[in-house]
Amino acid sequence: MSGYRIRRATTADCGLIHALAEKVFPDTYREILSPEQLDYMMEWMYSLENLRRQMEEEGHVYFIASDNEGIPCGYVSVQPQEADLFHLQKIYVLPAYQGKHCGSFLFREALRYIRDVHPSPCRVELNVNRHNKALLFYERMGMRKLREGDFPIGNGYYMNDYIMGLELDTSEG
């Protein structure tokens, strides 16, 4: 038993996802990004309007993890990209739950969802900042660095990422 529960988010959860992001996103990136870039990225990724658009127009499927007491503690989003390619867009866990298997729970649930909707082999990719300590977590979860890139996101800012991948076989999991 993982000690966590998962549920699929709806657009009614945009406020909750935004509130979780306000806690975890700055904590994750404060040593990597400038305060100005953090503010810009929070608006770009987590404004209520942008979250709603991600869900309704861009195909992002969000899941929210809660602890045994029902307290939301993390989220993950998955987006289909191509016929046999899914992108793990976001996976974040509140600082108090980091190191307590919530991230691995969310990761496994995202893979379970992908297997459910795509019952043939495919690849899962994600972008991770090259200086993010979560890089080791993703490697432990079986992901490998495929390539790297510097992606302009507007306002003169870039995401300096590794693109990691995992071949997902339907017989696993």
Token pair listed for 133: 């300590």
Alpha-carbon distances, residue 137 vs 53, 77, 88, 98, 101 (angstroms): 29, 17, 14, 11, 11
User: Which pLDDT belongs to residue 170?
Assistant: 67
How many Cα atoms sit within 13 Å of 18 on the Cβ side? Answer: 17
Q: What is the pLDDT of residues 63-86, one digit of tens each?
A: 999 999 999 999 999 999 999 999
Token pair listed for 60: 């992002």
User: Which pLDDT belongs to residue 169?
Assistant: 87
d(CA 130, CA 110): 22
CB atoms within 10 A of CB 57: 8
Domain ranges of the chain: 4-168
Q: What is the pLDDT of residues 10-58, one digit of tens each?
A: 999 999 999 999 999 888 888 898 999 999 999 999 999 999 999 999 9
**Nearest Cα to 92, choosing from 21, 3, 6?**
21
CATH class of the 4-168 domain in this structure: alpha beta
Does the predicted TM-score (pTM) go above 0.85?
Answer: yes
Q: What is the pLDDT of residues 108-147, one digit of tens each?
A: 999 999 999 999 999 999 999 998 889 999 999 999 999 9
